[in-house]
Amino acid sequence: MNRKVYSIAGKEVRDIDLDESVFGLPVNEDVIWYAINNELANKRVGTASTKDRGEVHGSNARPYKQKGTGRARRGDKKSPVLVGGGIVFGPKPRDFSYSMPKKAKRLAVKSILSLKVQDDSLKIVEDFSIETGKTKDLAGLLDNFGPGVRTVIVLKDDDPKIKRAGANIPWLSFLSYNRLRAHDLFYGRRILMLESAAKNLSEFYNPVEAGK
């Protein structure tokens, strides 16, 4: 698959051959949905907790005598039907995370990358860094690729300077080519992938074929 490589000025400079098995697959919507929900579930803290009638602080005595009042019998003030009483079937701390097959995760990421190529929202950019670590330098570079929309920059290595420069840009996030997240990729309106990261994706997802 032949795609254009852009300079940091947003100009086409050359072509690059992308791996069809990573960027040219049919889009599998089911596995994308599965991967995104898996990531969101694994992020949940699961610390919500309520008290049942046995845990609520209060007396076990009846609020009034059982007979002679004309009212319904009442056990104690901790009853779930009373304000301040226990909660019936309320949430308790739990672990929402679950595992997903590795092959399914990788298929989801490759499907999203293929979708972004089809939508022309993925651009391959020459390798760059922000040596100053300043937000205004990175913001000026991003302006060359269009207005400020939800953007994901895919890096080859962990670059602390470029991440520092983008820390104050709310619609910008960073991913490493070997730690891609389906949620961020799918909801990114614009994907800027460094040229070196694009070349490494083929070897990362297809190590056997790349080693031949």
Q: What is the CATH number of domain 2-38+102-211?
A: 3.40.1370.10
Give the model's pLDDT for residue 172: 94
Amino acid at 200: N
pTM of the model: 0.83
Kindly state the helix (H) or strand (E) to which residue 15 belongs, with its residue range.
Answer: strand 12-17
Name the 3-class secondary structure at 12. Answer: strand
Report the pLDDT value the prediction gives residue 63, as an integer from 0 to 100: 85
The residues spanned by each domain of the chain are 2-38+102-211
pLDDT, one tens digit per residue, over 12-46 is 898 998 888 899 999 999 999 999 999 999 999 99
Q: What is the pLDDT of residues 100-151, one digit of tens each?
A: 999 999 999 999 999 999 999 999 999 998 988 899 999 999 999 988 899 9
Supply the mean pLDDT for the chain: 90
What order of strands is seen across the sheet that includes strand 172-176? 12-17, 2-6, 122-125, 190-194, 151-155, 172-176
